[in-house]
Every structure is written in structure tokens, then in C-alpha cells.
Amino acid sequence: MSYSEKENLIVWQKWSDPLGEDDLESIPEEESSEEAEPVFYEDEDDHSEHETGEAIEFYKKPTRVIMTPMGIIPYTENTASNKIFNFWLGHTNFDITMPVCRIIVQVRGVETLDIFTRYRFRIGIGKLFETSLVINDINNKVYEFLLKE
């Protein structure tokens, strides 16, 4: 018997950043500076350097960026979604219908709801709410609804 033949289930998984940047500080400073490409700058007003054909060499640390609806922004501790939100994935063995979505978004503490597939969704839980209480509340309300259906 598979899960779908037994009972309705929601299995929860902590969401991890798809960019693999769950710990922005995980890259050692030495490693990131080795990857830096030299950038050459030639000042047109400085005739002495122009005449010798030399350029000033600068090393620039690579900047990670993300594309957002507001344009390209640097990807930092302050802009990483996994640092801003407490995201959790819900995996189900039942269809995530509009009534189920309404139940989830009405649970106190649910900040965001994103439906990925008919069996997978992501919620963002507000910082001032206890994660386990919000998840238990979602489970109870959704299971109660599905039993009536």
C-alpha cells in the first residue's frame, strides 16, 4: 500500500537556498580572493602612465548578484531569502487545491505561500511565531478539511 492509498500526509522539510548559499560565510577569504580576476585601469588624464604603457592593476573580489523584479541586486546576508524568511517545504500525497491554499494562508504565522506543484508548496513563517506550532496548526486544519471532503 502506498502513502496515497492510506491517509493524507504532509511531510515537512526545511527549505534550503537553491543557490547553495545557506551559509554566506562558508567561502574562506583566501579562496574567494584567489578566484578574483585582475582588473586593469588606465587613467587617461595621467600622461606619465600612458607614455610608459603601464596600467594600474587592481584585484576585485567577485560580487554575487541576483535578478529580482526590482533589477539586479548584490546577494548578501541582507538580501538572501533564506536569511530573511523562515521557509519550509510541504510535500503532500494529495492535491493542493484552492480550498487547501485558503486554509494554509489563514493559519496564524504563515507569511507567504508558494505552490510549486500539485503536491509541493513552500511557506514562510513569521519571525515572531513558533515554527512547530504553525506547522502543527496547518496539519490539523488541512487534515480536518480533507476528512470532511
Q: Is the pTM of the predicted complex or chain greater than 0.75?
A: no
Question: Measured at the alpha carbon of residue 84, what is the angle toward residues 78 and 86, in degrees to the nearest 5?
Answer: 155
Beta strand ranges found along the chain (DSSP E): 10-14, 38-41, 56-59, 65-68, 71-74, 86-92, 110-117, 120-125
Q: Contact 97/117 with Cβ under 8 angstroms?
A: no
Domain regions of the chain by residue span: 3-21+78-148, 25-63
Question: Measured at the alpha carbon of residue 81, what is the angle toward residues 80 and 83, in degrees to the nearest 5?
Answer: 70
pLDDT for 27: 39
CA-closest candidate to residue 44, choices 57, 33, 56? 56
Q: Contact 100/142 with Cβ under 8 angstroms?
A: yes
- Burial-class residue 125 by CB neighbours within 10 Å (0-12, 13-18, 19+): buried
Q: Running along the chain, 149 residues long, what does each successive block of 10 average in pLDDT?
A: 69 80 46 48 54 62 75 72 81 97 97 96 94 97 93
Specify the CATH class of 3-21+78-148 in words.
alpha beta
Question: Residue 14, Cβ neighbours under 10 Å: how many?
Answer: 11
